[in-house]
Chains A and B, each alone.
Chain A
Amino acid sequence: DGGITQSPKYLFRKEGQNVTLSCEQNLNHDAMYWYRQDPGQGLRLIYYSQIVNDFQKGDIAEGYSVSREKKESFPLTVTSAQKNPTAFYLCASRNQGQGYTGELFFGEGSRLTVL
């Protein structure tokens, strides 16, 4: 089945450590997104990529980094510079160009807890 796979689902980190969240999609979508979700705040965009080897900062990019070396993969690194990293992280993708429907497809999320 086509879809988006995020791993790990739960992750614990000590303060000062970097951690990388994986996101892989087999939907052949051009665009991929990382969102952060905190209770009562909806979804906030961290980074997005519309094509391989290119990505743009979203609304809350500070303390995060990404790469897009392959169309199907868009890993997110939460660095030690992120002051409040405990959150639920969601990866999403969607088609661009002629296949554009506007709809985002989401992974199941990764919950990061800083101890």
Chain B
Amino acid sequence: AQSVTQLGSHVSVSEGALVLLRCNYSSSVPPYLFWYVQYPNQGLQLLLKYTSAATLVKGINGFEAEFKKSETSFHLTKPSAHMSDAAEYFCAVQRSNYQLIWGAGTKLIIKP
């Protein structure tokens, strides 16, 4: 069965430091991959998506992610964290029936 694993339910970084949120997937076919962000008591907003056009995907708010098929990974990065980046981040992969499988989420904490 397809699955998505996000390593670390909480990640804490200092303001200005590199942000790295990890996502690994299991899939037998080249997938659509997504990163979404959720602020407290709000819906989810798309950060970026991979659709096989390019392995390095740039998204909103300075985030980017690199698709590595050999590692079945799609890690999210941002060079310099800002206080406004504090939120929960979800990785998702599209199944063969077009439904999404979601990771459990990673809460990003920014230390001043």
Contacts and interface: CB of A to CB of B under 8 A. Distances in A.
Contacts of A88: 41
A108 B105 contact: no
Contact of B45 (A9, A41, A42, A106): A106
A108 B103 contact: no
B99 A42 contact: no
Contacts of B46: 103-104
A107 B43 contact: yes
Q: What interface size band does chain B fall in?
A: 20 to 34
Interface string A101-115: 111101111010000
B77 interface: no
A90 B42 CA distance: 9
A78 B78 CA distance: 39
Nearest to A9: B41
B38 to A, nearest CB: 9
A108 B44 CA distance: 8
B3 to A, nearest CB: 11
B18 to A, nearest CB: 25
A47 B32 CA distance: 21
B63 interface: no
Interface in B13-58: 32, 34, 41-46, 49, 51
A33 to B, nearest CB: 8
A40 B51 contact: no
A111 B104 CA distance: 19
Contacts of B72: none
B102 A103 contact: no
A108 B90 contact: no
Interface of A: 4, 6, 9, 40-45, 48, 58, 88, 90, 92, 101-104, 106-109, 111
